Amino acid sequence: MTTQAKPEEVSAGSGGTPFLSVRDLSVRFSTEDGVVRAVDNLSFDVAPGSTLGIVGESGSGKSVTNLAVLGLHNPDRTEITGSIKLDGQELVGASNRELEKLRGRKMSMIFQDPLTALSPFHTIGRQIGETYRKHTGASKKEARDRAIEMLTRVGIPQPTSRVDDYPHQFSGGMRQRAMIAMSLVCDPKLVIADEPTTALDVTVQAQILDLLKDLQQEMGTAIILITHDLGVVARTAQDIMVMYAGRAVERGTVREVLKAPQHPYTWGLLSSMPSLTGDVNVPLKPVRGTPPSLINLPSGCPFHPRCDFREEVIGGGCTSERPPLSPATGHAAACHLKQVQRQDIFIDQIKPRLG
Amino acid sequence: MLRFLVRRTLGALVILLIVSMITYALFFAIPADPARLYCGKTCTPENLALIRHDMGFDHAWPVQYWNWLSTIFTGGTFNNVHCAAPCFGYSFAKQELVGGILLNRFPTTLSLTIGSAVIFLIVGIGTGMLAAHKQGKATDKIASSVSLLASSMQIYVAGPLALWALCYSTDLLDLPTYVPFTDNPIGWAGGLLVPWIVLSLIWTANYTRMTRSSMVEQLSEDYVRTARAKGMSGTSVFMRYAWRGAMGTIVTVFGIDLGVLLGGAIITETTFSLQGLGELAIHSFRDSDLSLLVGITVVAATLIVFFNIIVDAAYALIDPRIRLA
């Protein structure tokens, strides 16, 4: 086994040809302190109409990956290698003009905080309609009608009058609905939702997630849902990818990963999550330590300084060798522990704590 | 909007009242006796008292201030010159009505301001936007360092230098003079070209730096990223989103700068011997010409207060989140 993982083949989850296919994606930023390896050798697929949840701590490369898919990184400071294929079209190295045509039409993004992500200077209707006009060449009137139609679809009351409101006149939940309306206005086949519910309170959060799900079923959109909330993934996604330090450390269907997680980091994430049915006297266990610096990654497995199970690895290797994500398809984890060991540790030590 | 204007206008009047009162108080705090200046060499105490009475200096300053204030509304007669309301007093040094002097001088300052403002706005904002667009590249670095250099220049350095380079040694341009625009528009522009260039050189630098920094700030805003994420072209993102956001800062600063400039560019006018309000201010101070001094101060303060109101109203047009009340 080599220290560099080989290109990994990833299952498309729900089967069929993937709509988005990412292979060996690396994103590096040059900064004054050195090169930040924000995403390293990442591969994943998203099938049409399915939802992939990407989970990880802040700085694990979730957002960077998706901004790379949209081509929104500053090319002067970013080095992107690997391949990103959207519906067969290569996006890495594509010209700005080509990307402009795809953004908002074939792929679009829902941002975390709709207050700052919507322009305070333009009406909601204009911001939605503008995308539509850009990609379809519609007239102002048609764009406005389309904006009203979209606002109706995302459940904004009195859309014909609210279309002329500014974002600050909307409530937080309505703003996020407007944001969703904006990203779906051209019926994109891929929507990247970057923590779409983090800025919202819990009841609104549930409404927004249901809305996304409904719209997905209606329009057959593939969704990448970036979140650090495993609960959100559990109720919306079919597949999960757990990211750590710019790499995928575990991947599988929601059922596989949440019911039988294999990577110590995933165990840590699950243990740190409160359970409604769990014993109140069992303290939550956070993942100890802090995320590593992406400029100076720990040698071998980047998770080893925070891992509680290093000693159990037969023959060591945690500090010297980077474990590949294996097996190549299906439920996979990047860990030196043997498959049997992982199962035993999870059942004996982790599961009882999850309640 | 109407409520806003009424409220702000009333506030402005209070400010002007305070400004004029402070000017009066300050004038009497300095040990100068204007009557003595006009009394001449053969000054007898009787003469002095007479002049003092004629000029109204024999009252305590609050009384004088009150007289000045009421004359604005009632008008008055000075040295057999009738001054109709609104009357801003009489300059004993210039033997003229203050209102007339100010009206005479204002066009020069106005012309100086308009010309240089047009230049520094176009060049400054243009360069600033270019620098923001080419952020971190050679164009940006050149623009930034040139504007830093220019903004640390002073009029009294740049002015004579420009005069020497453009007028005295090369005869490229005319020496600065003021020709009324209505008499001869070409002569007007030609006569003011050198002061315009010098004045706008320094202001351009400020506007370049301000435009660049607010554009750079806006370009990193989330909503600009959203605009790019929905496929807007680079130009549209730059102009319709980032510039829209940056405009607020620039309009604010420009409004206030305009008020300051119209109140008289003292050093520029002195450097180029232009008879504007700034040059007048210096003279009135030197001559202890109280009524003229107060007149200029009030004009300058009015302009600043007025443009402040305009800026606030304009801001509400630019940013829909601002509501006037």
For residue A190, give every residue at least 6 positions away whose Cβ sits within 8 Å of its Cβ, in sequence order, or none: A19, A20, A46, A86, A106, A107, A108, A221, A222, A223, A224
- Nearest partner of A3 among A247, A243, A241, judged by Cα: A247
Supply the pLDDT for residue B58: 80
* Mutation to test the B interface, candidates A76, A101, A119, most B Cβ within 10 Å: A119
Euclidean distance between CA atoms A86 and B75, whole angstroms: 81
Output the pLDDT for position A113: 87
Strands A190-194 and A78-86: unpaired
Phi-psi region of A333 (alpha: psi -120 to 50; beta: other; left: phi over 0): beta
Q: Is the pLDDT of residue A6 over 50?
A: no
> In the prediction, which pLDDT does B260 show?
86
Residues of chain B with Cβ-Cβ distance to A96 below 8 Å are: 234
Strands B90-91 and B96-97, by their bridges, are antiparallel
Of A200-204, A239-243, B252-256, B275-279, the least confident: A200-204
Burial class (CB in 10 A: 0-12, 13-18, 19+), A110: buried
Q: A118 and B226: CB-CB below 8 Å?
A: yes
Enumerate the residues of chain B whose CB falls inside 8 A of the CB of residue A117: 222-223, 225-226
Per-residue pLDDT, B325: 66
Would you say residue A14 has pLDDT above 50?
no
Residue A90 scores a pLDDT above 50:
yes
From the list B136, B228, B231, the residue facing A101 with the nearest CB is B231
Task: Number of A to B CB contacts under 8 A, please give it.
Answer: 71
CB contact under 8 A, B229 and A105: no
Residues of chain B found within 8 Å of residue A121, distances taken between Cβ atoms: 241, 244-245, 318-320
What percent of chain B has a predicted confidence (pLDDT) above 90? Answer: 37
- The answer to whether the CB atoms of B233 and A121 lie below 8 A apart is no
Residue B164 in contact with partner chain A when CB distance is under 8 A:
no
**Which pTM value belongs to this model?**
0.82
Nearest CA in chain B to A69: B229
Q: Is B311 or A276 the better-scoring residue by pLDDT?
A: B311
* B220, B204 contact by CB (below 8 A): no
Rounded-to-integer distance, Cα A146 and Cα B301, Å: 51
Spatial contact of A84 and A168, defined as CB atoms under 8 Å apart: no
pLDDT per residue over B162-214, tens digit each? 889 888 888 888 888 898 888 899 999 988 999 999 988 888 999 999 999 99
- Average pLDDT in chain A: 88
Q: What is the pLDDT of residue A3?
A: 41
Q: How far is B224 from chain A, CA to nearest CA, in Å?
A: 7
Pairwise CB contact (< 8 Å): B230 & A108: yes
Query: A334-343, B40-49, B284-293: which range is least confident on average?
Result: B40-49
Predicted confidence (pLDDT) at residue A15 exceeds the cutoff of 60: no
Distance from CA of B222 to the nearest CA of A (A): 5
Q: What percent of chain B has pLDDT over 70?
A: 100
Between residues A283 and B7, the one the model is more confident about = B7
CB contact under 8 A, B231 and A103: yes
Contact B244/A at CB under 8 A? yes
Query: Higher confidence at residue B167 or residue A65?
Result: A65
Mark A22-57 as b/e (b = at least 16 C-beta within 10 Å). bbebbbbbeeeeeebbbbbbbbbbbbbbbbbbbbbb
Q: Which of B222, B231, B321 sits opposite A111 (nearest CB)?
A: B222
* Site from B137, B140, B226 to mutate, A interface, most A CB atoms within 10 angstroms: B226
Q: Do B231 and A168 touch (CB under 8 A)?
A: no
**B24 and B64 Cβ atoms separated by less than 8 Å:** yes
Chain B residue closest to A119 (CA)?
B223
Percentage of residues in chain A with pLDDT exceeding 90?
55
- CB–CB of A121 and B318 under 8 A? yes
Is B222 in CB contact (< 8 Å) with chain A? yes
Q: Which residue of B has its CA nearest to A185?
A: B230
* Minimum Cα–Cα distance from B321: chain A residue: A168
> Which of A76, A118, A183 shows the shortest C-beta gap to B223?
A118
Chain A residues touching residue B245 (CB < 8 angstroms): 120-121
- At CB < 8 Å, which residues of chain A contact B? 70, 72, 76, 96, 100-105, 108-109, 111, 113, 116-122, 130-131, 134-135, 166, 168, 182-183
> Is some CB atom of chain A closer than 8 A to the CB atom of B226?
yes
Contact B222, A63 (CB under 8 A): no
The pLDDT value recorded for residue B131 is 94
Q: Is the pLDDT of residue A152 over 60?
A: yes
- Is A104's CB within 8 Å of B230's CB? yes
**Residue in B222, B227, B244 closest to A116 by CB:** B222
Q: What span, in angstroms and rounded, lies between the C-alpha atoms of B131 and B311?
A: 26
Write down the pLDDT at residue B48.
82
Average pLDDT on B103-110 reads 92
Write out chain B in H/E/C secondary structure: CHHHHHHHHHHHHHHHHHHHHHHHHHHHHCCCCHHHHHHCCCCCHHHHHHHHHHHCCCCCHHHHHHHHHHHHHHCEEECCEEECCCCCCEECCCCEEHHHHHHHHHHHHHHHHHHHHHHHHHHHHHHHHHHHHCCCCHHHHHHHHHHHHHHCCCHHHHHHHHHHHHHHCCCCCCCCCCCCCCCCHHHHHHHHHHHHHHHHHHHHHHHHHHHHHHHHHHHCCHHHHHHHHCCCCHHHHHHHHHHHHHHHHHHHHHHHHHHHHHCCCHHHHHHCCCCCHHHHHHHHHHCCCHHHHHHHHHHHHHHHHHHHHHHHHHHHHHCCCCCCC
B33: pLDDT confidence band, cut at 50, 70 and 90? confident
Tokens in use for A69? 């898919």
Residue B170 backbone dihedrals phi, psi, to 5 degrees: -120, -20
